[in-house]
Amino acid sequence: MNIQDAYNEWSEIYDTNINRTRDLDAETTRLILKGRRFPSIVEIGCGTGKNTEFLAEIGDTVLAFDFSEKMLAKARKKVTASHVRFERADITQPWNCEPDSTDLITCNLVLEHIQDLNHIFAQAAQTLRRGGWFLINELHPFKQYGGTKARFERENEVIEVDVFVHHISEFIHAAEGTGLKLLKLDEVWHEDDAGKPPRLASFVFGK
């Protein structure tokens, strides 16, 4: 199913269905950013606001993008702080952000749905201030090699979302092409993943 339709449908159950990858992403994001403060944050692919609530606690301003209007509707109900703004956007197009304006960009479980990583990194590099961070958490390609992809159940039917496989090296090379530097790379397992490939690949790039 195409990405926009799938996430519009998934929005009704996204926060309540069992999803270890979603939960591990939220935990990992909080561990990386705990104790830090950012004047300006841009969240790419905010979904239902699962991480926006936390970002609102550590950012003076938060601009949260998503492609799905129904996901955004859930997020707007969940996060009502005045310093948070939600905006529907297609991140494969130029971002509605001023150059050199942002201290942190987060992108969580989004880039498996994006074919061209170079565009995303170019927009992030343009948007970040000097010293800013670009945090990415993605489904690990090892999981994708085994056939794992974004999916949900609807009336006993499994709906699979269109995805692309990106190898670890693709992220590194896309960053190098824009001058962003890799500051941190982790492979992350859920507590139920013993003996299995890592569930997440987590990157922090700096400008």
The pLDDT of residue 76 is above 80: yes
Residue 4: per-residue pLDDT: 65
Q: For the chain, report the end-to-end CA distance as a whole number of angstroms.
A: 36
Average pLDDT over residues 35-59: 97
Question: Which tens digits make up the pLDDT trace of 177-207?
Answer: 999 999 999 999 999 998 999 999 999 999 9
Residue 161: per-residue pLDDT: 72
Start-end of H helices in 34-147: 52-58, 69-78, 117-127, 141-145
The values of phi and psi at residue 110, to 5°, are -120, -40
Average pLDDT over residues 46-65: 97
* Distance, CA of 61 to chain centre: 18
The residues facing 181 across adjacent strands are 206
String of b and e for 114-133 (b: at least 16 CB within 10 Å)?
beebebbbbbbbbbbeeebb
CA distance 59 to 39: 6
Q: Confidence band (pLDDT; 50, 70, 90) for 146? A: confident
Domains of the chain: 3-206 (3.40.50.150)
The values of phi and psi at residue 205, to 5°, are -110, 145
String of b and e for 82-93 (b: at least 16 CB within 10 Å)?
eebebeebebee
The pLDDT of residue 160 is above 90: no
Higher pLDDT, residue 181 or 13 = 181
* Least confident window among 10-14, 17-21, 58-62, 133-137: 10-14
pTM of the model: 0.91
CA distance 192 to 207: 35
The pLDDT of residue 12 is above 80: no
At CA 201, angle to CA 26 and CA 77, rounded to 5? Answer: 25
* Least confident window among 10-24, 49-63, 94-108: 10-24
